[in-house]
Amino acid sequence: MEPPELMLLPDAVRVADLRTRVREAMERPPAEGWDCPARIEERHFSEPIPVRKARAIDLKLSAMPTDLWEGQLFAGSMTLEKPRVHAERGFPEYITKQERDDGAKLGANTGCFGHIVPDYPRLLAKGLRGIRADAQAQRPNAATPEEHAFLDSVEIVLDAVLSFADRLAQRCEGDTARSTPRRAAELLVMAENLRRVPAGPAQTFWQALQSVWLLHLVFHSTMNGNACAAPKHGNDDGGADSVGQALIDAFCAVTAKHAEQYQEIVKFPCGVGTFSWYLGIGQGLGASSDGRLAGEPVSSNFSPALGRDKDGLPSAILSYSKMHKSNLPAGGPLDLRVSKRLLEGDDGTRRLSSLIRGLVDSGGNMMTLTVADVEELRAAQREPENYRSLRVRMGGWWPTSPCSAASNRTTTSAARKRETEAWRRGDGGCRDAEHIDGRNRS
């Protein structure tokens, strides 16, 4: 049986209006008006860390605003429209200074973390009360204090989310008095939904979306922005790079395991590379937690994620060198982008020489540099006949004509990358010159 054909329907007026207002609100700086609780109660600091963190989540959710955007059908917001309040920022302190210092010595991050994939099917099938019952059923099997602490923390957090949902339901009911009859009817349904989910299984599509949205909101509002602020590969950060090293080691170990039975017939050398496929890979992926939007290209080859190499080109090379060891005989190209003005004159030649020497000295074996400014890339799209010699390099591959369909996508991607990197760093690329020169002097 053929699957039903998917139809693209135009946005409803409500959706289009909300999207426009959200985008407009994103352009306005946040206003004062919401302060995150600073610290859990002192009496709780004798409890295990997982339990303290659960109490911190409970404390923040108990203080989260319950305001609704006009026309909103799913209760719960991290950011408000009027006033423009950002409630996702901040997280109550639950770690002592000594614990933080001890963790830092071990390279451990004691903050909250993101990039998790929730089991939403279980949420929709069982609800939080069902999941809580599963946790309670594990009590007889808990054999260590750590296991008991984990179960305690699960129950505290689930109860906190249920209390937050109840507050949202009360807000919906309370807003009916100052709403139009049509909006009041919507608010009553929203309140009824919140009485049922996420506590229990979703019975309607509306309830399912409300349940998933509320848990999504909770995850983001209780990780203190660390999904954006956490160190990323490409900045010579030991903690971030160690995660990359572990991933590469696991990839190589699994490959070796499966290749062992064929070693007399064929070799399976490991490598990391996307070449031009990074465009197509991105087109088939949804939005990712590093800030990349749905459909946008992923980072090419062994390069840092888009805009995350904030500490300059030398740091990106040093991070790369930690990954690229003898266990990757098939190679792993590093693609970097350099502003054209940074390579002008004798100083520019010296910078380029230092970059290449640094790559070789650190153990790298393939680096490609795209030397072009955003203005030049955009101009190549408008007037391709005047830029026949422009090259946008990716691991040894480059489009030979900026006017072709594939190369036009590549040129657009490169321009977006340059723009995004400059915007996220806030310096237009000037820090690259400072970092390269600084490494040269050292």
- Pick from 63-77, 130-144, 292-306: least confident: 292-306
Q: Residue holding tokens 């009824």? A: 192
d(CA 218, CA 212): 10
d(CA 190, CA 135): 28
d(CA 435, CA 412): 27
The range of the structural domain enclosing residue 212 comes to 13-229
- Pick from 31-45, 328-342, 384-398, 418-432: least confident: 418-432
**Residue 42 within a domain:** yes
Burial environment of residue 408 by CB neighbours within 10 A (0 to 12, 13 to 18, 19 or more): middle
Tell me the pLDDT tens digit for each residue of 159-178: 999 999 999 999 999 999 99
Amino acid letter, residue 193: N
Tell me the pLDDT tens digit for each residue of 110-130: 554 445 678 999 999 999 999
Decide which of 229, 256, 271 is a domain's last residue: 229
Same domain flag for 225 and 261: no
Same domain flag for 179 and 243: no
Same domain flag for 209 and 297: no
Residue 437's pLDDT band, with cuts at 50, 70 and 90, is low
pLDDT of residue 407: 46
Residue 333's pLDDT band, with cuts at 50, 70 and 90, is confident
Same domain flag for 341 and 273: yes
Work out whether the CA dihedral 289, 292, 295, 298 comes out positive or negative.
negative
Same domain flag for 382 and 358: yes
Residue by residue, DSSP assigns 272-319 as ---GGGHHHHHHT----TTSPPTTSPPPPTTPPSTT--TT-HHHHHHH
Residue 338's nearest CA partner among 364, 367, 366, 372 is 372
Residue 223's nearest CA partner among 78, 123, 119 is 78
Residue 302's nearest CA partner among 350, 340, 255, 270 is 270
Tell me the pLDDT tens digit for each residue of 229-241: 456 778 888 878 8
CB 206 within 8 Å of CB 189: yes
Same domain flag for 152 and 120: yes
Asked whether the predicted pLDDT for residue 323 surpasses 90, the reply is no
428 phi, psi to nearest 5 deg: 65, 15
DSSP summary character for residue 30 = P
Query: Can you read off the two tokens belonging to residue 224?
Result: 């203190």
**Residue 225 within a domain:** yes
Residue 53's nearest CA partner among 99, 86, 107 is 99
Query: Can you read off the two tokens belonging to residue 164?
Result: 């937050």
Query: Can you read off the two tokens belonging to residue 438?
Result: 């600084």
Count of domains for the chain: 2
Q: Is 370 helix (H, G, I), strand (E, B) or coil?
A: strand
Estimate the share of the chain in helix, then strand, then coil, as percent rounded to the nearest 5.
55, 5, 40
Same domain flag for 159 and 69: yes
d(CA 422, CA 412): 15
Tell me the pLDDT tens digit for each residue of 180-229: 999 999 999 999 999 999 999 999 999 999 999 999 999 988 875 443 34
**Residue 304 within a domain:** yes
Same domain flag for 143 and 247: no
Decide which of 185, 212, 229 is a domain's last residue: 229
Same domain flag for 168 and 81: yes
**Residue 169 within a domain:** yes
**Residue 324 within a domain:** yes
Same domain flag for 142 and 286: no
DSSP summary character for residue 428 = T
**Residue 7 within a domain:** no
Q: Indicate the pTM of the whole model.
A: 0.56
Same domain flag for 212 and 339: no
pLDDT of residue 436: 54
Q: State mean pLDDT over 234-257.
A: 86
CB 94 within 8 Å of CB 40: yes
Higher-scoring residue by pLDDT: 190, 339: 190
Packing angle between helix 120-137 and helix 145-175, nearest 10 degrees?
Answer: 130
Decide which of 194, 209, 229 is a domain's last residue: 229
